[in-house]
Amino acid sequence: MQSKTMVEIASQRTLAKTFQGCLTKNILNEISRVSSINKSALRYGVTPKKAAYKMKNCIFCDILSGSQPCSLVYQDHVCTAFMDIQPVNPGHLLIIPNKHASNLNELEENTGGHIFQVAQRLAAALRKSPVLCEGINLFLADGAVAGQEVFHVHLHVLPRFRSDGFGFKFGPEYFNLPKRSELDDIARVIRESI
């Protein structure tokens, strides 16, 4: 496979920016087609339903209550998805539970499972839309040390393409593989904590 030239990469980025303006409409149409979601609930500019449990000083709860704007992509009785205001790439989505949960410990298991099901549908919609998307990352930061900045659980759905500049940095010990006995010991203590 040939590596892409700077002109090809620049063309991809220009194309991505061109499609960014029509992104929400195209994703909504694709979601409606891919899954049997009620189209009336997906109209562009719809104000999200009021959150069942609102936390003070939470930007995501403010979005759910309608006191802060968002570019809504999807909403049902469990979760809401909208465009990230500081996207890694065009099409970067956030999925949040409608009921406030600061971290995974507070999130109901059924809600977490439902959020991932919605993420699968949105990932499929991104791939079928005109948004530049050669792959998808799902990312959830749980706790400040893990990179969580807004303390309302949220799952990032990140469209990816070659040379997009985003990536994960591994620590210096990453390439030193642990012994099987060490992995077994860690697995045992985790099992015992379930």
Active site residues: 154
Q: 84: left (phi > 0), else alpha (psi -120 to 50), else beta?
A: beta
What are the structure tokens assigned to 41, written together? 């609930």
Q: How far is CA 89 from CA 19, 130, 135, 168, 184, in A?
A: 12, 13, 12, 15, 38
Q: Tokens 């990352």 label which residue?
A: 137
In angstroms, the CA 104 to CA 140 distance is 9
SS3 15: helix
Q: How far is CA 126 from CA 50, 96, 159, 191, in A?
A: 27, 18, 7, 36
Note whether 125 and 34 are within 8 A (CB).
Answer: yes
